[in-house]
Structure 1
Amino acid sequence: MNQTTAILPQLFVPGNGPADFIVQDFAVVMVVAAIMITITYKLKQPMVIGYILAGILIGPYTPPFSLVKDVSTINVLAELGIIMLLFVVGTEFPMAKLRSVGRVSLIVALAETLGTLFIVFFIAQYLGFAFYDSLFLGLALSITSTVVTVRILEELGMIKDKSSILFLGITVVEDILAISILAVLQSVAANGGHLQPLTLAISIGIVAAFIGGVLFLGSRFFPKIIDRAGKTNDYALLLIVILGLAFGLAFIAHGIGLSVATGAFLAGVLVAESNSAAVARILTLPLRDMFAAIFFVSIGALVNVTLVPQYILPAAILILTSFGAKFLIVTGILSRAKYDSITALRTGFGMSAAKGELSLVVVKGGQDVGAITSSVLPILGVVTIVTTFMAPYIIRFGSRIRIQSSSDDDDGDEDSSSKSAEEKAGG
């Protein structure tokens, strides 16, 4: 008892305790983020750029000094950001939607994700990157930023196009693939870092059992629990229940060697299965925006800017490789599937343009299990910033393409495409 009373005053004396550092670091993150997001808004640039630049400014690697007192605080904030970001993304993907994305979307997503992963992997190996650095870079650069791209499509008035429907369907599958592959890579890396057949099979089995168990068993019980909480009309109770589910599954996933992102995403899918999904989504959107900001700022703070100059050239090569691979695979498959040229090209440009939220989650996941070196995060920071700046111009270029056979591109299914796009943009 005496020890407790002796310790408590130290925790709450300004400048003397860990609580003071946490509050100070959190305040710095939010204040600098607010300033940078105002600047990027005035410049009409995506918010993620402002968040990353804010993180770089306050980070421990930016001279002349760091505004953050404890780097571990940044890691904790990033982890919270990952959980909330992926949870809200999951609420946009009920299982009926996952089943309805269509055969073409499934084929395209599988081909372009795995194709880009292996192409970027071999290019990274040629550039001299370590084996796991190359794998995580390959996975990160195979993922399209859904949030950035959908917002650009909305601004350009293309959200009702046939190409936008395809884009949304493909990204649903791509997101699930990315999270699943990340879980496998983390599991293998955590178990000694050797891609032996037995280890790989066990890792895939663990991932499949966890995902399958949560979706099969969880969908029978958790939506009912959520609906009971929703029927009370007590929004605080509903919020606490769904957050408990999100952090609970994230904890279980972490405990069996998987990414917290996997558990959080699956928790979102279970919430989407409930009748209270719409209310739950409205309740969690402000949390998503806040924690997404924290996540991107935290990622920027962890970027070692002193390493950026020496990785500009490799980053440029990897950007071109990723863009070329995704564009050629997507347009090639859609053309073979008898889609008209304008739809194939616009979808190809949309899928190839931006890297963002999940790409950063992948690299953070590799860093968490100690699988990658310090060079990967600065490279992906450069890739994210450059591709996010380029994305509006690339997609706008695609929107200006006019081909005679595309006269029916914007006809039919406009209401459904608009609805799907708006739902995806909310995630």
Structure 2
Amino acid sequence: MPHADSLILTLVGGFVLAFVFGMLANRLKLSPLVGYLVAGVVVGPYTGGFVADTELAPQLAEVGVILLMFGVGLHFSLADLMKVRKIAIPGALLQIAVATVLGWGLGRLMGMGDLEATLMGFALSVASTVVLLRALEERKQVRGEVGRIAMGWLIVEDLVIVLALVILPLLVIQPGTTLNGMELAGSIGWTLFKVAGFVAVMLVIGAKVLPWLLIRIAHTRSRELFTLGVLAIALGIAWIAYQLFHSFALGAFLAGLVLNSSPLGHNAAERSLPLRDAFAVLFFVSVGMLFDPRILVNEPLAVLGVLAIVIIGKSLAALVITTFFKLDRATSLTVAASLAQIGEFSFILAAVSVSLGGMSRGTHDLILAAALLSISLNPFVFALIDRMGGKPKATPKPETAPVRDLI
């Protein structure tokens, strides 16, 4: 492929096929994410026909990661989390721990090392905000108690992922490097201290400077400059965080969090939404490009194992936890079904693990297979829990659908 054409061909191939397969998935009552991932598989190097630029696509995907995390920060609600903190915080942490242990156990049975097995389990423990929102919206439960608990649960998972992406480079020891327990603990402690300092600077100084800057840009009455300003803030702070901690996610999340509390935070969210939609699609397409579908045939038992952890293991853990907190049967079943899938943050964690050398390409493919299958099966999981007593109660007045924060 001529280098001069690689960008436009990658964009055209990615967007067109993502639209086609996304529409097909939607007609089949599946999440469009399934279509975007399949589009990536079609243009990937493991299938015949047109092959997109496998070096350029991941770079475009990085922009998608930044804007996804920026959107999470923009829509992060500490107040909503505090309302359900007694359930969401311990529930999410316990469910992550259970899924990680199950994944570690499966990984060890498959011959993986402790670190790779743990990373696989951790990636399987985090549900997709996009899929969760879609499911709750279809059931008109976003603004009910179930929606608040499930979204609070995912907010905790998002925060854990952000922290994990910062610490991960320290856990993956490069070949030829030796690091004892004390040195590792010291490195993690120093990194967390720097992260705390960076967060403090962003929340104290950034909370004054960035809103002031946005207001100044708004005074120009130029929609283009305001949109560019929002994008520059997101990308700029993400780059600073990457230079300091090798994590785009932390900077992008904090940039969104700071702007969320500003008077123009809602405008910033509206202006960045089209860009986030576009680059998020490219992110999912690029993830699909990395997936080798032959693993479904070559390793069927391994695929079934990781899928069982996502759908059965996580659901049972969530069901036990919510039952312990004395939630009613319908709420417990719905929360459990909501978490029976994995998505965007699992992809991010797996991709970073592969790039650092902490995870093999085969394990990465297992996680992608679990994502594709669990997202596709999630509507059937909801249908099953409805028959078990999880069907939402009829309400005389339908809810107004909220503004979607990702896709």
Provide TM-score, normalisation by structure 1. Answer: 0.85
Aligned partner of 2:62 in structure 1 is 79
| Aligned with residue 290 of structure 1, among 273, 278, 293 | 278
Q: Shift of the alpha carbon at 1:247?
A: 1.2
Residue 422 in 1 paired to residue 402 in 2? yes
Read off the aligned partner of 1:316 and give its amino acid letter. Answer: L
Q: Shift of the alpha carbon at 1:340?
A: 2.0
Aligned partner of 1:148 in structure 2 is 131
Aligned partner of 1:369 in structure 2 is 356
Counting only pairs closer than 5 Å after superposition, residues 48-197 of structure 1 correspond to structure 2 as: 48-62=33-47, 64-68=48-52, 70-97=53-80, 99-189=82-172, 192=177, 196-197=181-182
Indicate conservation of the 8 Å contact 2:303/2:369, yes or no.
yes
SS in 2 for 1:128: coil
SS in 1 for 2:361: coil
Aligned partner of 2:234 in structure 1 is 246
* Distance in 2 of aligned mates of 1:39 and 1:164: 27
Counting only pairs closer than 5 Å after superposition, residues 18-33 of structure 1 correspond to structure 2 as: 18-33=3-18
Aligned partner of 1:402 in structure 2 is 389
Per-residue CA shift, 1:260-319, capped at 9, x if unaligned?
Answer: 122212211112111111111111111111111100001111113344422332121122
Distance 1:19 1:274, change over 3 A: farther
Distance 1:166 1:226, change over 3 A: same
* Distance in 1 of aligned mates of 2:170 and 2:4: 33
Read off the aligned partner of 1:121 and give its amino acid letter. Answer: W
Identity %: 25
Read off the aligned partner of 1:120 and give its amino acid letter. Answer: G
Q: Shift of the alpha carbon at 1:356?
A: 0.9
Read off the aligned partner of 2:366 and give its amino acid letter. Answer: I
* Distance in 2 of aligned mates of 1:279 and 1:371: 40
Aligned partner of 2:346 in structure 1 is 359
Q: Shift of the alpha carbon at 1:119?
A: 2.5
* Distance in 1 of aligned mates of 2:113 and 2:231: 38
Residue 47 in 1 paired to residue 32 in 2? yes
Distance 1:95 1:346, change over 3 A: closer
Counting only pairs closer than 5 Å after superposition, residues 236-385 of structure 1 correspond to structure 2 as: 236-351=224-339, 353-385=340-372
* Distance in 2 of aligned mates of 1:185 and 1:175: 15
Structure 2: runs of 5 or more not aligned = none
Q: Shift of the alpha carbon at 1:322?
A: 3.4
* Distance in 1 of aligned mates of 2:172 and 2:152: 31
C-alpha RMSD of the superposition: 2.8
Residue 386 in 1 paired to residue 373 in 2? yes
SS in 2 for 1:299: helix
Provide TM-score, normalisation by structure 2. Answer: 0.89
Distance 1:362 1:379, change over 3 A: same
* Distance in 2 of aligned mates of 1:410 and 1:220: 45
* Distance in 2 of aligned mates of 1:193 and 1:77: 34
Q: Shift of the alpha carbon at 1:137?
A: 1.2
SS in 1 for 2:112: coil
Q: Which is worse superposed, 267-276 or 160-169?
A: 160-169
* Distance in 2 of aligned mates of 1:301 and 1:425: 25
